[in-house]
Every structure is written in C-alpha cells, then in structure tokens.
Structure 1
C-alpha cells in the first residue's frame, strides 16, 4: 500500500495515507495489547514509512509530525506501562492450561481446540456463561446468527500463522446485548495449538473510567458512557439509565469518537478493550538497586560501587579485571553489556588491567536524569566523576558500537586525558540516508525511528523491551541478530552468552527496565552529524575501529564509507564477526589496547 502526501497550503506535508494511518494504528494497539505483535508493526512501518524517508532531507527531517498520530503513540506508550506479558506466544509451551488462563481471572476466558471443543475455562466463564463440564463452541452464549463468524475466525487463527489474534463483537443470546471476544492463539503444555477466547462480560477494573479520562481527555460523563459501551450496553439502555434522550447520548458518543480519533463505536470499543487487561498489571520500571552484579557458571560476582553526582543522583559502576591495575574505561553500549566473557575478565586481570564500567543514568542502580536535563552531558559528567573516584589521571577507552560517539565527546571535553579510543563495531557519524536504509530491519526500525520520528520513539523502544521480556534474552537476540550468522554464533558461545545475559540485567531484568534511558540516548546527539568533534581528534587521540563484516547496523558498505571519509583513523575488519565483534575478538582488542595505556 502506498503512502500519499497530503496538501497543506503551499507545501505538501509528507504523511501517511488514510488507509496506512488506520492500519498503523491498528497494529500499534495490537502491540499495546500484546508485544508479540512488535515485528508485524515493524514490517508494516517499514513498508509505509520507509518510502517517506526518501523524500526528506537527512539533516532536517521530522516525519509524521502529526498531533493525531503522536497522540495515539503517546496513549499506547502509557498503556504499555500497564502490560505484563503472560500469555504464551506461538511456539512457546505453557506449563499447563491453567497458566494460560491465569492472567484472565477477572474476565470469562476459555481455551478452544481445532474441533471447537473447550479444553479449559476459568471460573468466571463457568459462572457467567453457564458452561457445562464438557463444553463446545455451541455452549457459548452467542446468537445463532453470529456463531458461524466466530467459527470462521477460529479456523483462520489455527491455519494462518501470519495472524495470531482477533477481536470480534457478536450478538448475545440475550436481547439487546453484545459480547466482545478477544481471541489469541497459544500453545498448551502438550504442544496442542489452542485459541484463548476472553470475553468482555466483566466488571470494569477499578479506576478504569479515570484512566480513560486521563488518556483521552474525556469528561466524567463521556468516560462513563464509554464504559457502558465497553460493557455492551445499547444507546437506548444508556439513555434510560442516565435519564437522557437517545439523541443526547449519540451526540456525546460523537464527541468521544472525536477525542479518541476513532471512526465507529466498534473501533472505539476495541481501543478501550485493548486497555482493560493492562490496567491492573504493571511492569516495574523504577531504577532498581543492586549491590552486586551476580555471577553464574564461570563468571565471578562483582560488587557495584556507588557515588553521588553533583545533583544528588546515585551513580553506580563496576570494576573488572585487576582492582589496582592500569585503568581502562569501557563503554558498554545501550544494551548495558557491562560484563565480559569470563576468560576475557581473567585475561584483563592477568595483564594488570583495571576495567572501569560506569552505569549510565537510568541503568541498574544509577538514577535517571530529569526530563529537562541533557542526557549526553550527564553521561559524560558521571563518567568523569567515576574516573576521578578511581584516581584515574589518564586512560584509553574501549567503546562498543554507538558509544563511539560518547568516547569522542569525552575526549573532546577532556583534552589530554584519554590516550586512545578503540571502537569495537564502531559507528561514526551517519551522514547519508543510505546508511540508515542499509541497516537490518530491526536496527533500521529503531535507528531510523530515532532519526526521522523521534517523537514516536518511546513507544517503539518500550514495546521492544517488553518483547525482550516476553521472548527472553536468547529469543530476542535471535530475532534482532537473526540475519547475522556471526552474531548468533558469537552469542551462543557459552561464556559470551553468560556475559551477555548477566551484564544486560542493568538494562533489562525482572525488576528493571531501562527503556527511557535507551530512548533518551538515541534522540540526544549520536544521530546528529558530529563529524567536527570527530575530526578535531585527528593527530590528538588515536582512534581505532575494529568492526565485523556481518554487522547489521554498520554493514560493509557503510564501513567503507567511514574509511573514505576519515582516512586518518585506523581500521580493522573481521570477516567472521558482526556487531558483537568485541565478544568474539576481545583478544585482538586487548592486544591493540596495550600500546595505548601510556606510562
């Protein structure tokens, strides 16, 4: 489907067509309901927004700066705070049928198999729907005229792997009463594919009307009417209950449609339903407090050290290798890869290297900065505070990928302090649109999103973090790096896997989620053109890039452009590595590091 510009006066505003906008919002709320739909949103986004990027200048874009679209992304982002992933994704085995039904204790829910037999149902379904012990689709209180539509949708979910969920509004067997079913494909403990059917015959969650009021700026009356619509009350019933005319209620519903930017009562109800199961469930995203970085298998436990920044924030950091050794600053990427493979940490100890790893604001125990504070400036100041606490007078830097930008900023702000920079999978200033378009789709979705639609980025990142929680770190890495055989092979090395999973707890764990900090970094300075800062280091600070040929973010064509644009930099390319090049070739990195240590 093509995206068409919309005329606005003398200029054309480059935005989505009405069809693409509707489809995008549909997928947006699907992800707000279940982060497993993230990749479908990603693919749709690329097919619709990708062509728009070609029509704007790289250094002055802000695509989809449409308050209607931004409002939907903001609302969806708010409701992601309330979602907790519990429904199994396709291909994931649930421990038992009860575990699948457990998150739906407040709503009638049942599991149906390919024969439309009900394999299990929760207590609410048994009572509200009066289901017998051995029940079938025909036992659900659905009007005979709509039963075939439900059966057809169930068949579609069983057969069409591209679609794993659906929302249906059908007539009840009771007069003037409707039921909304949310259907979700899942897998039982015995491997049987099932469809979970949750209905809306439910008492609305406590405080739900207030949530609707805040999210959509509704009046108390409008929120109450919307709750009645969600509860399948007819306009006539609502009018009678409120002692108002039908025309008055219809006018108020029209106002609700305008405020929620929906086009029908069905779309309105679906939007509200996508929020119901989230309102009582939360993801804890406050900055966690960790005293130790846990060890596992071959990786030793390490204590976190804590400082107080000038503004009173807590700043944590790790020290790997030799506690009294020669200092090396390590910048661990926005994934929070603060640990090295056990053999690499042991080698650092043997070589007398003290690897200092600051936890940037919003990661692990380091407090997040305020919304009005420049994130990059705070990160640089925190890093120098940590180095001062460790008594460091000068040292080299090892930086991963996009953290090359922060290494350059540190060197520029502190002349003579840093003796060299080794950028593993280094990313230099992106100055061509093609450098975004060449990235693999996962990296392009986030990086191009940060560059072209930064106001929509918080939802993209938060949904990605929730997907990682749902898939687990191994599943998420296989999804993100699936087209880089080298990265997958590196990740699956036992010590690398251990370091990656353990270290990244400062970014994502059961008690911590650094999605806000991740977003703030991307929309700060690293995707601007910082060539002048980079060039200023020429002849002052040695800069070495050690990249992998299978890097999904910096593919070889982009790497070659970096070489041509910055011929004073020392370049190394590993054919058997990707973005995780450091974890595959840390020995080469440490060998090249030694001459940079200084006296």
Structure 2
C-alpha cells in the first residue's frame, strides 16, 4: 500500500541516487493509481501535479548528470595515483582528486592539459583512440608510455586501460600515471605515527612534490636554515636518512590506505585530537521563553564582545563554525549568537506543518533581551535569509544589516533559476510550478542529510560544486562535519516543513527590508539561482550582489575574513565603506 512515507522514501532514493530518477517517474503513475484505489486521493492529487511537470523536470535535471557511471567514479576515487576516464578523443569525463591537483585534469578538460609537448600529446591521443576503438595493440608486457614533463623536466609515465560502461556499453579509456596528488588524509596520519608538527607536514608535502630546499624555503616564506633544520627533525622522527628515503616511506604509507578509508582514518585521528570546532558543548544553551517553550542557542566568539553577529544557519548542523573564523571574530571583539530555529536542536517545534519565520522573531527578540544585546548585524546562510528578513522587518531598530551567504531567493520564473544545478533546481522549480509536491521534496532532502552521512554529503558537494571538494575533504574540515552531524543527531530534529522560505509570500520581506542586504555568492557556485540574484540586486537599491573569487557554495567558510569585515563595517555604521 502506497503511503506518504513510502513516497518520501522513493524521493529520498531519487535524491541519493540520481540514476533512479527516470525509474521513479515511470513508476509514479502506477503509484498514483494505487493510492487512489486505497482511498488516498489527497496525496494522489498532490503528486499528480508533480507528474504533469515530469517531462520538463527531466529536461532540467538530465544535462547536469555525471556522464560516467557512479561505479567508475568510486573506482577512480580510490586510486592514489593520477587516474582519469577519457573518451576516444582524449576528453576527460571523470577524474580523481590526484588528477585534479597534480595536472588539473577535471571533467570537460582534455589530456592536452598534461604538461607534455605537442607531439607527445598527439601520440597519446592516437593511443587513446586506438585503445578505445580496437582495444589497443599492446607491444610488450610492460606497456607504459614515457613522456617528459616540460615544466619540471621529470618523466611522466602513463598506462592506458580499456573500460566498458556496464549501463551503456560505451568504451572508455582509463589513464593512469605514476604521479600522485598529495592525499589530504596523509597529514594527520603522518602526524599520528611520528608526532610531526604542522610545519613539518608542509615540508614533507613539498619534499614529495620534488622541490629543492631553496624552493621549499621560498614557498614557505622561511629561511633556508629553518627548512634544513625541519628536514633534520623529520628524518630523526621518521627514522629515515635523507629526502629520498623519507619520500619512499611516505609513498608507501599513501598506498596503504584507499582514499575513502584514508579520509575516514584522518577524520578519526583529528577528532581524537579534539579538532577545534564551535560552538563547543559549553557554548550551547537553552532559554526558557515566557510561555514555557524552549529556545536552543549558541554563544561563542568574543565572550564579552560589544559587536554582535546574529547567525541564522540553513540546515542540520549548519550552525557549526570552524576554528579560524571564530578566532578571527574573537580578535575583532565580535560575539556570535546562533539561535536554532524551531525543530532544530532543543528549540520547541511549532504546532502544525509550518514553521513561520515571522513567528520566530519574538523568540529571538526575547533572546537578545535576555542577553542584554541592543543591536546586531545578521549573517545568514541559504534559507536563513528568510529568517533574517523577518527579523529586520519586526526589529528594524536592532538590525544594522544583513549579509546573506549562498542565499535562497524568491523565484518568479524559470529564468530566475539560471545557474542552479539539476538537483537543487528541483525544489524551487517545484515550488514555482507544483507547490503541492514541495513538502515531499523537503522531507526527502532532510532525509538525505540525516540518513546518508558525510560520504553522501561529499558526493552531493562534488556534483553541486566541484571546486569545494578538495576543501571539504581537508583533514581539518572533515572532522568538523562529522562532529556537527553527531551533535545534531544527539539533539534530535523533529522538524517542520513547508517553511515560509518555500512560499512566494515572503517577497515583501525582501522588497521592503529596512536595512541593506548583501547577497554573497562564490564564483564557482552552481548551487544558487544566479538569475534571481542578479534580478533582485538590479531591481532593489538596498540589495547588492557580491561574487567572491575561488569559492563554491560553502562561501561563508571559505571567505570568512571578508564576511566578518562586512559584518564589522555594518556594526560600525560603515556599510558603504
């Protein structure tokens, strides 16, 4: 018997496994018939609207799908060596992290990116074409191609393998080299084994990349004598005799863990060493409101800071900050207050299916009164913008400005969704054209976060914004993600769905906002509606758009210095500076 729960589970599977999308759509009509027969006409009516837009939605989602299969992608990811999947013309369809970091081999690039001569590139392309069409003509048991790196002068050894995709029977070529990109997990593993410092890990990384001592010193902005001293300390701790011996040991260690396993080991090591994250447990508090309800909030940064940032998070464990921005806030005497919205943490859930941001404002006002805080600036992420605008509308004298990172926008047309990837296109497109299906999609999205864990979250990040992948797998970042999920799991989430941020009637909150609104997007963000961002910033004098370089959708964590600069300026009344 089809139920709302079973439909939600189907949509969850859709979110977690995009290849299931077509099958889901094909089966949906049968489910609708079954639901009607079982007296569930209400759910069937809501989902039938979804069905009416299915063909258009497939057209939207399909162009963003990964061309290579997920099995192949996972196989590439396990390799420490540079590994990439090529078509017959030498175009890169998929690549692992080592290929991206060592040679910039990323999807939609080509083997012409390799730092080899034009004639060597042509020879390599011929071999790829031959391998793809004829299975290759192997001339010797050790069929390794040799090229010269025109940048470093060192050899590049390449091996090609034929791969047939099970789903399409398309023939691809897997390229492997003897080179490795520095695996992010190696740092904490080396530290744990040999009690090395962060500086010594940096020196080892440069040593493995083949740099000489003078170049290491230049890259680290240190004296040559300092680097030599650090090398001697490394040799002593690792019981190696010279750079070659140490490099051999490091390469051997890198091969002992597949990438996924290595990242997990690194995360556990960092967590065991109490990786710094905020808020700490002692910085989380619960305020009992006048009517007896509870408000969960965090208080960190500068303990007694006179300048206060009100932080509106976006999702489960979205209130977790990293060490560097919190330390910078403390140095600037900025205090961070993060109220958890209804349904998050221990904050009391409102009755019914809607969690109205306007209703939450009095609770936040009571919190500020309790803490003796008169004026704040707001920094928000994604859907936190809606709560920020509601607060500004009802407390205009207490809010100095809003900085909205990776913001959610009111979407009025399909053109507003320009720039959004297919997966995140789904929700605003559904809200625009068939709002009755939104509650199912909301629940599916939350189920994805809670049930899939950090690994699936990482896959979603790769699809949404590949530029974020290397950042999010850093050994100082991944444990914070794991910690945030644990905190959220321990505190629980009851959750209300169908928030105001998914309905059109919050547009007046943006158009009539009494304070300046700064929309902040990372230049590589494929997870936000660029069209809507441009339209709203062009149409409203109090709304501006800032596009920050070298950032993806986690722009707040990557560009915290600039974000805190803006927040500090708002608090000082210098928003135009």
SS in 2 for 1:509: helix
> 2:504 maps to which residue?
528
Pick one of 359, 362, 372 that aligns with 2:343.
362
Pick one of 36, 39, 57 that aligns with 2:18.
39
> 2:304 maps to which residue?
324
> 2:563 maps to which residue?
589
CA RMSD of aligned residues (A): 4.0
> 1:479 maps to which residue?
460
> 1:383 maps to which residue?
364
Q: 2: CA distance between counterparts of 1:461 and 1:596?
A: 33
Q: 2: CA distance between counterparts of 1:493 and 1:565?
A: 39
> 1:306 maps to which residue?
286
Runs of 4+ in 1 over 6 A off after TM superposition: 24-27, 32-37, 45-49, 89-93
Q: 2: CA distance between counterparts of 1:454 and 1:499?
A: 35
Is residue 2:379 matched to residue 1:401? no
Q: 2: CA distance between counterparts of 1:29 and 1:356?
A: 34
The structural deviation recorded for 1:352 is: 0.9
Q: 2: CA distance between counterparts of 1:385 and 1:587?
A: 30
The structural deviation recorded for 1:72 is: 8.1
Q: 2: CA distance between counterparts of 1:533 and 1:558?
A: 15
> 1:565 maps to which residue?
539
What's the TM-score, normalizing by structure 2? 0.52
CA 1:68–1:437 in structure 2 vs 1: closer, same or farther (change >3 Å)? Answer: farther
CA 1:511–1:596 in structure 2 vs 1: closer, same or farther (change >3 Å)? Answer: closer
> 1:315 maps to which residue?
295
Q: Contact 2:385 / 2:407 at 8 angstroms: preserved in 1?
A: yes
SS in 2 for 1:482: helix
Q: Contact 2:342 / 2:348 at 8 angstroms: preserved in 1?
A: yes
What's the TM-score, normalizing by structure 1? 0.50
The structural deviation recorded for 1:69 is: 1.9
> 1:297 maps to which residue?
275
CA displacement 1:516-560 (0-9 Å, x = unmatched): 33x232xx24541544332323xx422222211222332444433
The structural deviation recorded for 1:427 is: 3.2
The structural deviation recorded for 1:310 is: 3.9
> 1:276 maps to which residue?
none
Pick one of 387, 391, 408 that aligns with 1:410.
391
CA displacement 1:494-514 (0-9 Å, x = unmatched): 4443444433556x5266345
Return the structure number with greater helix share. Answer: 2
Matches within 5 A, 1:467-546: 467-505=448-486, 508-509=488-489, 512-514=492-494, 516-517=495-496, 519-521=497-499, 524-537=500-513, 540-546=514-520
Q: Contact 1:331 / 1:397 at 8 angstroms: preserved in 2?
A: yes
SS in 1 for 2:568: helix
Q: Contact 1:38 / 1:464 at 8 angstroms: preserved in 2?
A: no
Is residue 2:414 matched to residue 1:433? yes
SS in 2 for 1:520: coil
Specify every segment of 5 or more residues in structure 1 that has no aligned partner in the other structure, as ranges.
1-21, 50-64, 74-88, 94-158, 163-292
Name the count of aligned residue pairs.
345
The structural deviation recorded for 1:414 is: 1.2
CA 1:470–1:393 in structure 2 vs 1: closer, same or farther (change >3 Å)? Answer: closer
